[in-house]
Amino acid sequence: MGKAIDHMSSQPLPILGADVTPIVPKKPAIDPSSLKHKDLRRGPFWQKIPAYRGVDEAAFLDHSWQAKNSITKVSKLVETIQELAPPGFVEDMEKGMKRAPMSVRVSPYLVSLIDWEHPYEDPERIQFFPVESRLLSDHPKLGLDSLHEQADAPTPGLTHRYTDKALFLPLDTCPVYCRFCTRSYAIGLDTDEVEKVHLRPNEERWKRAYQYIASRPELEDIVISGGDAYQLRAQNLAEIGEALLAIPNVRRMRFATKGPAVMPMKLLTDDAWVDALTRVVEKGRTLHKDVVLHTHFNNPNEITGITEAALGRLFERGIVVRNQSVLIRGVNDSVETMTLLVKRLGHVNVHPYYVYVHDMVQGVEDLRTSVDTAIHIEKHVRGSTAGFNTPTFVVDAPGGGGKRDAHSYEYYDRDTGISVYAAPSVKPGQLFLYFDPMHQLSTHQQRRWADPREQQVMVDDALAAARHRAR
């Protein structure tokens, strides 16, 4: 066989006849910068961090080492980065953390991705470490559980909002804690600002969730989140997966995790967890049930050579991975950054699924962007790559309206920043309001929002306009 291949490869290629017209390209030669999505960070990049200079690749890729050395206090972070941060930054960060609704938990991998010499502009620092100098006052219409997940919970840790889908929260811990977390009402430790609703692992609570799901024949789609499915023990992940697969009406399951973006090495070195997920996926396939992994990358810097290898392992096992991003100011709120993120996700075989307009979360007003920003970015991202790798930009309507296409509003006043959405298949007859961040409004409109009477006028006018257009 080898000799035959050698023999064939030695033959000259046929030459086109003189009468064949040469192909004239209709497009100019590609700009090499447009292939930036293939250029991933590689090598021991973590060794630029003072505390990790002596950490070799084997240790850094060990998920147990990552978990053991995760940063849970600002003082530990200061010891880790030492002289890298500019003067005044650490104090600014310490004051910011005292006002944060989320506690600190960040992996060494994530710490090593941050440009600590320019931390104010770094997209990863922005997501995980607040600084007091950039914080803004919350919008007056903001609430801690803005999506009303607890109000739509028939039993603790299970939200049933959409007709055929439920959100199951088996635990309340994550490998890292994001500043912008929608579930800051429950995730992580109590902070100076928020006393949490705890959803610790509890088999009795899980059984009540299974019983409810089994009692509702319309429930076909279950999201297993938290917290984070990464934090489930391999045995628990398998037990939850098998329990849900055993319910006849369940047809689809999604394990949701931020893990691949913040600790991808777990997929390389935690064989028990990956094997458990694989068994659930394969068992689902034999039952003709769909089991996939949903993850959460927000910025292209989060996708490295380690990420590529980790996700490649899942791809080899036939595990489908989809991504849900949050649109965050200074992180991915430009056409260029979002396009690069989308194309880089496709490059590592992750399907971009949703981009959420930032939820109205307490204590992170500096991170929010407007509905108009989302619509503008989506217009430019669409067409840059294949349609199945193009995310839908959505507003998760405050008050429990569910996910609505950002551009599908019933009414949108860009001056007041009020958009109105209907959700006829979720909560028919109701209207749901989203509010752009006030700092992006004119000074006149900001003054109106400072007056409670004017607030009500603006809301009433927006609802009236939406109802008029719906006639």
Kindly state whether residues 193 and 331 are assigned to the same domain: yes
Query: Tokens 């944060």 correspond to what residue?
Result: 100
Residue 142: per-residue pLDDT: 83
Are 297 and 303 in contact by the 8 Å Cβ rule? The answer is: yes
How high is the mean pLDDT of the chain? 90
- Residue range 418-427: mean pLDDT, rounded: 95
* 3-class SS string, 426-445: CCCCCEEEEECCHHHCCHHH
pLDDT at 450 over 70: yes
Give the pair of three-digit tokens for residue 139: 């919008």
Give the pLDDT mean for 51-67.
98
Does residue 27 fall inside a structural domain?
Answer: no
Distance separating alpha carbons of residues 145 and 155, to the nearest angstrom: 16
What CA–CA distance (Å, rounded) separates 371 from 419?
8
Q: According to the model, what pLDDT value does residue 471 have? A: 75
For residues 318 and 414, membership in a common domain is answered with no
Q: Does residue 95 sit in the same domain as residue 55?
A: yes
Q: Which of 366, 335, 368 has its CA nearest to residue 434?
A: 368
pLDDT score for 32: 84
Whether residue 444 sits in one domain with residue 399: no
Q: Is the dihedral of CA 365, 371, 376, 379 positive or negative?
A: positive
pLDDT at 10: 46
- In sequence order, the β-bridge partners of residue 351 are 322
In terms of domains, do 242 and 387 share one? yes
Tell me how far apart the 2 most distant CA atoms of the chain are, in Å.
86
Q: Count of domains in the chain?
A: 3
Q: 288: alpha, beta or left, given left = phi > 0 and alpha = psi -120 to 50?
A: left
d(CA 21, CA 294): 49
Strand partners, 290: 252
The alpha carbon of 330 is separated from its chain's Cα centroid by a whole number of angstroms, namely: 15
| pLDDT confidence band for 294 (50 / 70 / 90) | very high
Q: What is the mean pLDDT of residues 102-127?
A: 95
pLDDT score recorded for residue 3:
39
Q: What is the pLDDT of residue 145?
A: 60
The answer on 383 and 336 residing in a single domain is yes
Query: Is the same domain home to 331 and 382?
Result: yes
> Are the CB atoms for 22 and 16 separated by under 8 Å?
no
Has residue 438 been placed in a domain? yes
Shared domain check, 202 and 128: no
* Residue 33 main-chain phi, psi, to 5 deg: -65, -20
Mean per-residue pLDDT, 272-289: 98
| Same domain assignment for residues 179 and 270 | yes
Structure tokens that stand for 175 in this block? 């490998």
Q: Are residues 268 and 339 in the same domain?
A: yes
Question: Is there a domain that residue 413 lies in?
Answer: yes
Q: Which of 179-188, 192-201, 351-360, 395-404 has the lowest mean pLDDT?
A: 192-201
Q: pLDDT at residue 141 above 80? A: yes
Query: Which residue among 134, 167, 182 closes a domain?
Result: 134
pLDDT over 50 (residue 7): no
Where among 84, 102, 134 does a domain terminate? Answer: 134
Which of 298, 383, 297 is closest to 334 using CA atoms?
Answer: 298
Q: Is residue 363 part of a domain?
A: yes
- Mean pLDDT confidence for 155-165: 91
Of 334 and 16, which is predicted with more confidence?
334
Which is more confident, 19 or 283? 283
Residue 190 scores a pLDDT above 50: no
Instruction: Looking at the structure, tell me whether residues 222 and 327 fall in a common domain.
Output: yes
The side-by-side arrangement of strands in the sheet containing 402-405 is: 158-159, 165-168, 221-224, 252-256, 290-295, 321-327, 351-357, 392-397, 402-405
CATH number at residue 294: 3.20.20.70
Looking at the fold, whether 127 and 169 belong to one and the same domain comes out as no
Per-residue tokens: 264: 């991808």
Give the pLDDT score at 18. Answer: 57
**Res. 202: pLDDT tops 60:** yes
And the tokens for 255? 């394990």
* C-alpha dihedral (111, 274, 42, 129), degrees to nearest 10: -20
Residue with tokens 């941060």, as numbered in its chain: 85
Its domain, for residue 414, covers 409-471
Size (the chain), residues: 471
Residue 95 inside a domain? The answer is yes
Query: Residue 256's beta-bridge partner residues?
Result: 294
Do the domain assignments include residue 141?
no
**Own/partner long-range contacts of 68-75 (Cβ < 8 Å, ≥24 apart):** 69/108, 70/105, 70/106, 70/107, 70/108, 70/175, 70/176, 71/104, 71/105, 71/106, 71/107, 71/108, 71/111, 72/103, 72/104, 72/105, 73/104, 74/104
Full DSSP string of 173-235: --SS--TT-TTTTTSSS--SS---------HHHHHHHHHHHHH-TT--EEEE-SS-GGGS-HH
Residues 6+ apart with CB under 8 A from 341: 297, 298, 299, 300, 325, 332, 352
User: Given a cut of 70, is residue 99 above it in pLDDT?
Assistant: yes
- pLDDT (mean) for 33-54: 95
* CB-CB contact of 184 with 177 (8 Å): no
Supply the pLDDT for residue 210.
97
**pLDDT the model gives residue 4:** 40
Among 407, 433, 456, residue at a domain's last position: 407
Residue 91 lies in a domain: yes
Is 21 within the bounds of a domain? no
